Chain A
């Protein structure tokens, strides 16, 4: 966590801040757009500020806003948000090996602050979980620094969006900067042939399953991409073994 000295005094804390800072304009534009969307769809000022400060999840907020305004039943609002957030459940399975060395309250707080961008940049920096104490300290410090700056830029931008909502026409499309930030991060993740294939299959499947309710197309797309890449990898290994060729990338 950012308020723990072992984290903020560690050099990896700054590295985490530096990585996220390059995507911060995108985060800010997206956060601002969510702030604008809350007010413009008719949520009260109090509700908008409370949601910004507590929920801290752009895509689930975006899905919940119209339901809240329309007076949908609580379980529908919560089920929708849960499904939109299911990708984080997948991420948490991946992060488990990195997190278990910390006490529970720190794990939970760190997880709460870990958005898509922080997770992706973390996974890119630390490909395998550290086995020694100094490596684990470095991972936790990186995570703390990255999520700290991410949280600050998101909060500042969202609150700014709430206060400027009357003056920003939503048809300007400023929120697209958030998508472009994700494009940049996706490019930096595309480090092997199989990962590029995963990217392609994920995108195509998300369009094919687009009509599914509750944004379940994202989860289906992750499933398709992961299973196809695993199968391709196994076929590839078998092929290589048969012909005695070396390992792949």
Chain B
């Protein structure tokens, strides 16, 4: 059953998506970020991605997972190796996904690794 408050919750979530993604350019007032913040922001994207990826690889049910039965670790390493070999040319992200999944699925489904 759909309840009315669910719709309110979902509309609020959509508004939060909009608000957080547009946060610093809603207002048109003239202002500039300090120079050191602007330089610092170039390090933010890669840190954010890594902060999402690394726990996904090493943490299982809030526990650190042993590296040698960690299918995700070997899959990610395989993907990175593919990227390095291709030196970032062509459809590397697609290649990273394909190589990674072809390592992950057999280890995960076949051997039952994490």
Contact = CB atoms under 8 A, between A and B. Distances in A.
B66 interface: no
Interface string B82-114: 011000100111111110110011001100000
Contact of A181 (B20, B41, B96): B96
B59 to A, nearest CB: 6
Contacts of A218: 48, 51-52
A235 interface: no
A111 B45 CA distance: 16
Nearest to A194: B43
Contacts of A81: 13, 16-17
Given A186-B49, A222-B47, A227 B40 contact: yes
A176 B75 contact: yes
B25 interface: yes
A86 B20 CA distance: 6
Contacts, number: 275
Contact of A207 (B21, B46, B58, B91): B58
B89 to A, nearest CB: 10
A179 B59 CA distance: 13
Interface in A202-249: 202-207, 210-211, 217-218, 221-222, 224-227, 229-230, 233
B50 A120 contact: no
B76 A183 contact: yes
B79 to A, nearest CB: 5
Contacts of B57: 179
A12 interface: no
Contacts of A207: 54-55, 58-59, 64
A206 B43 contact: no
A156 interface: no
Interface in B8-37: 8-14, 16-26, 28, 33, 36-37
A217 B40 CA distance: 19
Given A25-B94, A172-B109, A185 B49 contact: yes
The 4 lowest CB-CB distance pairs between A and B, nearest first, are: A202-B47, A203-B54, A225-B47, A184-B96
Interface of A: 22-26, 29, 44, 46-47, 50-51, 54-57, 59-61, 64, 68, 74, 77-78, 81-82, 85-96, 99-100, 104, 107-108, 111-112, 114, 116, 119-120, 123, 172-173, 176-177, 179-190, 194-195, 198-207, 210-211, 217-218, 221-222, 224-227, 229-230, 233
28 contacts: A24-B94, A50-B10, A51-B10, A54-B14, A64-B9, A77-B12, A87-B48, A88-B21, A92-B21, A92-B23, A95-B24, A116-B52, A123-B45, A177-B100, A179-B56, A179-B72, A184-B79, A187-B88, A189-B46, A198-B50, A202-B46, A202-B49, A207-B55, A207-B58, A211-B62, A225-B47, A230-B39, A230-B43
Given A74-B9, A184-B83, A188-B88, 12 more contacts: A23-B97, A26-B97, A46-B2, A86-B20, A91-B48, A92-B24, A99-B25, A112-B17, A176-B104, A187-B96, A198-B47, A222-B47
